Amino acid sequence: MICLECGHDGRYGVENCSQCGLTVRVAPPHVEANHISQVQVAIDEYLEGQLTRERLLSIFHRFEDRVSEFEARWGVLMESLFKDRLGEKLKDTYQGAAVEVDRALFHLAEALGLLQEFHNEGPDELLSHAREELLSFFRLACGGCALAMHELEMEHLRQIKLGAAADYSV
- pLDDT tens per residue across span 74-101: 765 557 777 877 778 878 888 888 888 8
Q: Higher-confidence residue: 157 or 72? A: 72
pLDDT exceeds cutoff 80 at 37:
yes
Cα 7 versus chain centre, distance: 17
Which helix or strand (DSSP H or E) is residue 21 part of?
Answer: none
Arithmetic mean of pLDDT over the chain: 83
Integer Cα distance of 32 and 30 in angstroms = 6
Count how many Cα atoms sit within 13 Å of the Cα of residue 23 in the half-sphere of its side chain: 3
User: What integer pLDDT is reported at residue 126 of this predicted model?
Assistant: 96
3-state secondary structure at position 157 = helix
Least trusted range by pLDDT, from 14-28, 54-68, 120-134: 14-28
Instruction: Quickly count: other Cβ atoms within 10 Å of residue 30's Cβ.
Output: 17
Across 5-14, 46-55, 140-149, the highest mean pLDDT is recorded for 46-55
- What is the model's pTM? 0.77
C-alpha pair distances (Å), 128 with each of 18, 134, 161: 30, 10, 52
